[in-house]
Amino acid sequence: MMNSFFDKMGEKLMPFASKVSANRYLNAIKEGFFGVMPVIIVGSLFLLFTSIPINGYSELMTGLLGENWSQIFMVPYRMSYGIMSIYVVVGIARSLAHFYKVDTRESIVVSFIAIFMLTPVLVTEDGLKGLPLDNFSASGLFLAIITTCLAVEIFRFVVQKGWTIKLPDAVPQNVAKPFEALIPVAIIFIIFNFVRIGFEMTSFKSAQNFIFTMLQQPLQSIGSTLPATILVLLIESILWIFGLHGSSIVSSVMNPIWRSLSAENAAAIGLGKAATHIVNYQFIANFVKLGGTAATLGLALVIVFTAKSSRYKALGKLSLIPSLFNINEPLIFGMPIVLNPIMAIPFVIANITMAIVTYASTYIGLVPVSMGVEVPWTTPPIISGFLLCGIRGALLQIVLLLISMAIYYPFFKMLDKQEVKKESIEKGIIAFSLI
C-alpha cells in the first residue's frame, strides 16, 4: 500500500518538477548565481575581515592600520557584493543566449543597455553625474533579473525575425557583425527609453522603485518568515524522497530571495548597523543543511557509530567525508532515502526541525543573525558557524547535529536490525550450501 502511494505521488510530482527544472528562465537565473559565486565569496571575505568575531580584533587592527582600517576592506566588498546585480546579469544573459542560439556578447551588451536605461542618473550640487551603486546591489537584483530576461527576449525575437542589416558575404565578419546588431540594439534603446519615461510619470519615479516596492519587498517579506521557510523545506524534502533533486528545484526559485536577504544583511553590517533578516542564504546553507538537505550529517554519524550490518558499515565509511562537506547524495541514494517510507519520516522531520531550532535560537538572541558573509556551502559545520556567527554559531551547529542524530537514530536502527537479520540468513544459506 505504501509503495502504491509513493508511485502515485511520484507520477503527480514528476511532470511539475520536470517543468520547473527545464524552465529556461529559472535555469538562467541559477547559472547567473553560479557564475557570480567566486566574486561574492571573495567579496564576503573582505567584509568578514571587518568584523571577525574575536575579542580585541578591532583594537588590534586599529593599532596596525589606523582608525579607518575597515575602509581598506570595504572598497573590495562594495565592488563585489555591493554591485552583485551587474555580475549576475552576465550569467543570465549568457545562459539565455546559449538557449536561443544567438550571439552571447550582444545579448550581454543589450542587457546592460536595458539596465542602465532604467537606472536614474544622480546629479550632485556640483553638477557631477553618476549612477547610484545601491541600484546594482541586492535592492536592484530583481530588476536586473527581469530586465535581462526581457532584453534578451527582445533581442532574440528581432534577430530571429531577420530584422538586421545584412552586408555582402565579401565583407569580413568582424565588420559585418556590428552592423547586424545595429537594429536590435536601436530597438532595445527605444523600448527601454519609453519604459523609463513611463515609470518617471508614475509616483514610483523609476522601475527600480516599482520592482522593489511591488515585487522584491513582498517576496522578501514572505521568504524571510518561518512558515514560508518550513513550507519550502517540506516541498524540498518531498521532492528528494521521490528521487527528484529537491535542492536544485527549490534553489532555482528561492535563491534570488535568500541571497538578496543575505546581501541586505551584509550591507547593514557594512554600514555599521545590525543584520535583521534571520532567514537568508546562510541560514539555509550553513545551519539548516548540516551535511546536506535535512541535516544528513547526523545520519552519517549515526551510521558510522552504531551500524551493525556490513552493508551500513560500508555506507557509513563512504558517506561520512562527503557529508562533512555538505554533500549527501551518497546517503540519499545509497541508504536509500529515495522511495524509502521508513527514512522519509526523519528526513522530513529533520529538515523542518533544523529550521525551527535555528530560527528560534536566533530570534531569542542566543545566536546573532548571520552577517551575510558568503561562506562556501561546502565549508564543514562548526567552521562555517564560527565564521558566520562566532563561537555561538559553532555551538548552535553542534546542538543541531546532536538533534539530527537523535531524529535519525531510531529509524536507522530499525533498518539496521532488518539488514543484520537479512545478512545472517544469507550467511546461513551460504554456509549450508558449502556443507
Statement to judge: residues 244 and 347 lie in one domain:
yes
Residue pLDDT, tens place only, 41-89: 777 777 777 766 666 777 787 878 777 777 787 788 788 877 888 888 9
Statement to judge: residues 302 and 168 lie in one domain:
no
Q: Is residue 232 part of a domain?
A: yes
Q: Is residue 55 part of a domain?
A: no
| Cβ neighbours for 274, distance < 8 A, ≥ 6 positions apart | 268, 369
Residue pLDDT, tens place only, 210-259: 888 877 778 777 778 899 899 989 988 888 887 777 777 777 778 788 88
Statement to judge: residues 213 and 232 lie in one domain:
no
Q: Which amino acid is at 7?
A: D
Contact by Cβ (8 Å): 123, 129:
yes
Q: Is residue 36 part of a domain?
A: no
Statement to judge: residues 89 and 4 lie in one domain:
no
Query: In this predicted structure, what is the pLDDT of residue 164?
Result: 75
Residue 141: closest CA among 106, 89, 186, 69 = 89
Statement to judge: residues 246 and 315 lie in one domain:
yes
Statement to judge: residues 239 and 387 lie in one domain:
yes
Statement to judge: residues 95 and 164 lie in one domain:
yes
Statement to judge: residues 167 and 242 lie in one domain:
no
Last residue within a domain, chosen from 178, 204, 223:
223
Flag whether the pTM goes above 0.85: no
Q: Hey, CA dihedral for 160, 164, 170, 176, is it positive or negative?
A: negative
Q: Is residue 145 part of a domain?
A: yes
Statement to judge: residues 210 and 228 lie in one domain:
no
Statement to judge: residues 348 and 276 lie in one domain:
yes
Last residue within a domain, chosen from 158, 192, 223:
223
| Cβ neighbours for 26, distance < 8 A, ≥ 6 positions apart | 20, 252, 253
Radius of gyration of the chain (CA): 26
Question: What is the span of the domain harbouring residue 106?
Answer: 80-223
Number of domains in the chain: 2
Statement to judge: residues 282 and 204 lie in one domain:
no
Packing angle, helices 246-270 and 141-160, rounded to 10: 130
Q: Is residue 120 part of a domain?
A: yes
Last residue within a domain, chosen from 178, 205, 223:
223
Length of the chain: 435
Statement to judge: residues 245 and 365 lie in one domain:
yes
Residue 363, SS3? helix
Tell me the pLDDT of the chain averaged across its residues: 82
Query: In this predicted structure, what is the pLDDT of residue 432?
Result: 44
Residue 195: closest CA among 141, 146, 161 = 146
